[in-house]
Amino acid sequence: MTKVPAVHRIALLFNGNKIFDRDIIAGIGEYLTSTRASWDLYLEEDFRCRLQGIERWQGHGIIADFDDPATCEALSRVHLPVVAVGGSYADEEDYPKDIPYVATDNFKLVKLAYDHLIEAGLQNFACFSLPKADVNRWAQEREKAFETLMQRDGLQGHVYRGVGTNAPSWDTTVEQQIAWVRSLPKPIGIIAVTDARARQLLQACLCAGIAVPEQVALIGIDNDPLARILTRVPLSSVIQGTVEMGRTAAHLLHQMLHGARFSDTRILVPPAGINVLASSRHEARNHPHVMQAMHFIRQYACQGIKTEQVADYVGVSRSSLDWYFRRELGRSVHDEILRFKLDAAKRMLQHANSNIADIAVSCGFTSVQYMHAVFKRELGCTPREYEEQQLASATAQPAIQIPKKKAALASSPTPALQLTEPTNGN
C-alpha cells in the first residue's frame, strides 16, 4: 500500500503580471512536480496578490513576494510558516526580520550587465532607473550596485530615474528621456533596471535617431520576451535566476511544513545567464556615416530597403557610403542588408512549422527563390534543410542541456556575403 501524502494548503502571494513573479511560480511548480509534495495552491484568478484578510486564512504555509512592503507588513501578523522572496539588499538592515528569504542577487545582476558593456569596449556608463517608490526598492538596489561599481573603478556614472509614465505626460516623458541621452558622453553603455525600462529608452533613442548600439549600447534585466517582441532592435538582457528561486523557496517551505525552522536562512541566487542581442553588441565603429547607416539597416532591413534608401537616410551618395562600408566592415551596404535579412530568416526558421513563403516576405526577400539562393550560397543548404537541421539538433539535445540556440546563433559571425540581388526585379 502506498501512503497518500498529506495535502497542504499553500498560498502564493505574487503579482503574476510580472515576469519575475511568474518565473518564481514556475520554479515552485517545477519543485512540486519533482517531489511527492502534495500542495493545494491558493492563487488569485488573475494571479495578482491580494492581502485583505490574509491573517485569517486557514492554510498551512505561504510563499510571498516581499518586494512590496505591504506584503511584508500584512504577513507579520500571520502565524503560519512563511518563505519570503524578493530582491537582495546591500544593507543588512533592509531585510525583513526572522524569516527565511530567497533573493535575486541585485549586485550580481548589475555586475554581469556592466562586465558585458566593458567587454563590448565601452568607457562611459549610465543607469536608467525608476522613480523612487516603496514597491521598487530593487530598482534602488540596482542603482546602488551600479554606483558601487563606478566608485570601485573610479568612473563617473550617470544615473537617471526619470518619471513614472502615464498617458497625458507620455510625450514629455519621452522628450526628457531623449534630452538625458543626448546630454550623455558617447558612445555610452546604459544599464536599465528592467527590460520594460530598457524598452522605453530604446524607443526614445530610435525616435531621436540615436544609433543603438553604436552610440548607446543598452542592456536590461529580466530577459522578458514581451519587451523583446516590442522592440525593433533586439534587446540584450540579464536573465535572473528566478526559476531556481522558486525551487529554493518551495524546498524551504516543504521542510518547514515538516517542522524545520529557518528564520535566519537567506539564500542569494545569482543571474542564470545573459542574452546578448543587437542592442548591446557595440563595436568600435568610428565613422558616423557607417554608424548612422547601420542604425537604419538594423531597423528596416526586413522591409526590403535598398542601398539608395540607406544612402538617402545618411545623406551621402550611394558610392561613397559603399566605400565607407568596405573600409570599415569589409563588405558593401547591400551585403550588410542581406546579412540582416538572412539572420532574421534563420531566427524564424527555428520555430517548427514555419511557412517559407511567409518568412521570405517578412524578412524582406523579393521572392522565395531569391531567399533559397541566398541560403544555398551562404549556408550550403535550403531554408527547409536549415530548419530541419535546427529542429534535429534541438531535439537531439538531452533534457539537461540549457537552451542555447538563440544566443549561439545570434553570436555566430556571419561570413561576408558576396551575393548580388537579381536585377530583373523578381
Partner 1 sequence: MACLFSQMTHFTISSTPAEHGITLYTLRNANDMRVTISDRGATLISWWAPDRYGREADILLGYADHDGYLTNAPFFGGIIGRWGNRIANGRFTLDGIDYQIDCNEGPHHLHGGEGGFHLMPWTVQTDPEGLRLTLASPDGAAGFPGNVLASVLYRLDDDGRLSIDYTATTDAPTPLNLTSHGYFNLNGGAGDICDHILSIDADQYLQVDPQLIPAKVAQVAGSAFDFRQPAPIGPRLAWPDDQLRLAGGFDHCYCLRQRQAAPDQSGRNLQALREVATVYDPGSGRQLTVSTTENGLQFYSGNFLDGVQGRATEAYAVHDGFCLEAQAYPDQVNGPEREAVILRPGQVYRQTTAYRLTVRG
148 binds partner 1 per the rule CB under 8 A:
no
CA dihedral 230, 236, 237, 243 (to 10 degrees): 80
C-beta of 404: minimal distance to partner 1 in Å?
5
Q: What is the DSSP string of 231-262?
A: -SSPPEEEEP-HHHHHHHHHHHHHHHHTT---
Contact 160, 129 (CB under 8 A): yes
Closer Cβ to partner 1, 1 or 399, answer by number: 399
Report how far residue 128's alpha carbon sits from residue 235's, in angstroms, rounded to the nearest whole number. Answer: 15
Closer Cβ to partner 1, 270 or 304, answer by number: 270
Closer Cβ to partner 1, 114 or 324, answer by number: 114
7 binds partner 1 per the rule CB under 8 A:
no
Task: Give the range of 80-88, 143-151, 183-191, 246-254 binding partner 1 by CB under 8 A.
Answer: 246-254
Report how far residue 305's alpha carbon sits from residue 413's, in angstroms, rounded to the nearest whole number. Answer: 22
115 binds partner 1 per the rule CB under 8 A:
yes
Q: Which of residues 30-69 bind partner 1 (CB under 8 A)?
A: 30-31, 34-37
Contact 215, 240 (CB under 8 A): no
398 binds partner 1 per the rule CB under 8 A:
yes
408 binds partner 1 per the rule CB under 8 A:
yes
Contact 181, 118 (CB under 8 A): no
Out of 251, 285, 331, 339, point to the residue binding partner 1 (CB under 8 A): 251
Report how far residue 59's alpha carbon sits from residue 418's, in angstroms, rounded to the nearest whole number. Answer: 67
Residues forming a β-bridge with 62: 11, 82
Closer Cβ to partner 1, 384 or 404, answer by number: 404
Task: Mark out the alpha helices in 129-265 (DSSP H runs).
Answer: 137-152, 170-183, 195-207, 225-229, 242-257
Grid cell 545573459 — which residue? Answer: 274
Q: Which of residues 78-97 bind partner 1 (CB under 8 A)?
A: none
260 binds partner 1 per the rule CB under 8 A:
yes
Task: Mark out the alpha helices in 51-209 (DSSP H runs).
Answer: 69-75, 106-119, 137-152, 170-183, 195-207
404 binds partner 1 per the rule CB under 8 A:
yes
Give the contact letters, 265-284, x = binds to partner 1 (CB under 8 A), - = no.
x-xxxxxxxxxx--------
255 binds partner 1 per the rule CB under 8 A:
yes
Closer Cβ to partner 1, 199 or 254, answer by number: 254
Out of 142, 144, 254, 281, point to the residue binding partner 1 (CB under 8 A): 254
**Phi, psi dihedrals of residue 266, rounded to the nearest 5°:** -135, 125
The residue ranges that bind partner 1 (CB under 8 A) are 30-31, 34-37, 108, 112, 115, 119, 239, 241, 243-244, 247-248, 251-252, 254-255, 260, 262, 265, 267-276, 398-402, 404, 407-408, 411
